[in-house]
Amino acid sequence: ANFSEQVVESFPSDISTGIYYGWACVGNGDVHKMVLSIGWNPFYKNIKKSVETHIIHTFKEDFYGEILSIVIIGYIRPEKNFDSLEALISAIQEDIEEAKRQLDLPENLKLKEDNFFHLPEGKIVNNQ
């Protein structure tokens, strides 16, 4: 789930590029583990900074247009380039496993239940 250019521009400018982990919720659905990439994706030679969320869950259908709420809990590693697509995929799998380990720690697991994820019905968030 990629954030729009407008949302990316609203992130703090001094946030380090790299790979993060945390919790994500689509709409008022369940809260799931996630891995987040903030940066330029050097392997793909992006010219614009992006924020891409990989929710560690299989959804039955697309959720385009839904509100995606995230809480960033920790940092895994800096952004880097890769020699091959296979090396990139391998690193992503390692990032997912590290996120799972970190998010299973009691101090991180309790954040899954934060009221931040429970939007009141009909509430307007960020003018949407």
Q: Greater confidence, 44 or 18?
A: 18
> Does residue 41 fall inside a structural domain?
yes
> Does residue 123 fall inside a structural domain?
no
CB atoms within 10 A of CB 29: 14
> Does residue 122 fall inside a structural domain?
no
> Does residue 126 fall inside a structural domain?
no
Q: Give catalytic status of residue 52 as yes or no.
A: yes
Q: How far apart are CA 79 and CA 7, in angstroms?
A: 20
- What value does the mean pLDDT of the chain take? 88
> Does residue 30 fall inside a structural domain?
yes
Structure tokens at 60: 């039955």
What are the helix (H) ranges across 29-126? 85-103, 106-109
76 pLDDT more than 80: yes
Q: How far apart are CA 122 and CA 51, in angstroms?
A: 26
CA torsion sign for 121, 73, 43, 92 is negative
> Does residue 42 fall inside a structural domain?
yes
Instruction: Supply the CATH number for residue 110's domain.
Output: 2.40.30.30
Among candidate residues 5, 9, 52, 79, the one labeled active-site is 52
The number of distinct structural domains making up the chain is 1
Q: What is the pTM of this model?
A: 0.85
Using alpha carbons only, what angle is made at residue 56 by residues 106 and 103, rounded to the nearest 5 degrees?
Answer: 15
125 pLDDT more than 70: no
Expressed as residue numbers, the domain containing 69 is: 5-117
